Structure 1
Amino acid sequence: MPALNVTFTDAELEQLRASASGAETSLKVFVHDAALAAANDRKRMIAQLAQEVAATSAELNARLA
């Protein structure tokens, strides 16, 4: 399975460890899930913005026709 090495400062790593501990999960699983959640949120945001642009464009095109 492909892997990714990510560099963190000591403070950032401690924050991640504390958050993973609070979520009662391993650091690896916590970071994996956080990365995928961020990617999914971005994809969802882009799709939402595309819908808003399409709706605005449709209204403008209707007025210009």
Structure 2
Amino acid sequence: MPALNITFTEEEMAALRRQAARENVSLKTLVHDAVLAETHRRRVTAAAVRTARISAGLNERLATK
């Protein structure tokens, strides 16, 4: 299975370990899920921006009626 090595400062690593403990998950699971969630959030945000840009003219016309 592919893997990725990521470097963190000692402070960042300590914060990640604390968060994993709070969520009762492994550090690996915490980081894996966080990366996937952030990737999804960025895709959804980009889609919303594209949709708003494309529909801006229509929204203006609808708002003035």
2:15 aligned partner: 15
TM-superposed CA distance for 1:56, in Å, is 1.1
> Is residue 54 from structure 1 mapped to residue 54 from structure 2 by the alignment?
yes
Q: Deviations over 1:10-57 (max 9, x none)?
A: 000000000000000000000000000000000000000000000114
What TM-score does the superposition give when structure 1 sets the normalisation length?
A: 0.86
Q: Which runs of 5+ in 2 are unaligned?
A: 61-65
RMSD after superposition: 1.3
> Is residue 5 from structure 1 mapped to residue 16 from structure 2 by the alignment?
no
CA distance in 2, matches of 1:31, 1:59: 39
Q: Percent identity?
A: 38
CA distance in 1, matches of 2:50, 2:58: 12
In the TM superposition, structure 1's runs of 4+ consecutive aligned residues that sit over 2 Å from their partners are: 57-60
